[in-house]
Homo-oligomer: A and B are copies of this chain.
């Protein structure tokens, strides 16, 4: 073992490492392809009625290929939900720190979430059904993802600090009120999507409607 052989070795080692990295990149791109297709199909049909064949077709791969990238249907679905929630949470955290008051934070939360769903309409349907899954006693085989829980906790924290700042009523738990905020939000977004081209509301006016409804309710003042 002379110096040369060591250099040689290192050189040899480097190459596979390089090509492995490229492979990994390609692999991720293809995974992303499949995730995009899955998002579309799951949103359209829901978890149970979406088939792996549907997803493979949408992604323009053979069905076997899908299984090279995801262990099974479950893993594919969970990976999808996880990625999207992660993106959403990252945005929310990044944007809300900029605000000073709790009320501003809630405003930003609503605006950024709306804007996220405008860009990810398909995911909105998955978000809704994922949220309902939390509400079932028996969640089938699909485990509750930690990002989903983190997202929920994030909203609860927003409300909690608003309660501390006397902006939100404290006669009910932050959890209860956070759920109500999300409920109102989903109801409005759903109607927005349903109306489609007709009721093109801009994000700001929708944000303020949701905030107004949440803070002040539906009564004539």
Contacts and interface: CB of A to CB of B under 8 A. Distances in A.
Interface of A: 43-46, 48-49, 125, 128-129, 132, 135-138, 140, 166-170, 172, 175-177, 179-184, 186-188, 190-191, 194, 209, 212-220
Residue with the highest number of chain B CB atoms closer than 10 Å, among A46, A187, A188: A187
A140 B47 CA distance: 11
20 contacts: A44-B138, A128-B135, A135-B194, A168-B218, A168-B220, A169-B220, A175-B191, A176-B188, A179-B191, A180-B184, A180-B187, A180-B213, A180-B218, A181-B218, A183-B187, A184-B184, A213-B217, A214-B217, A214-B218, A215-B217
Contact of A183 (B43, B186, B216): B186
A140 B129 CA distance: 15
Residue with the highest number of chain B CB atoms closer than 10 Å, among A170, A177, A184, A218: A218
Nearest to A176: B191
Given A45-B138, A176-B188, A217 B220 contact: no
A182 B184 CA distance: 9
B218 A215 contact: yes
A170 to B, nearest CB: 8
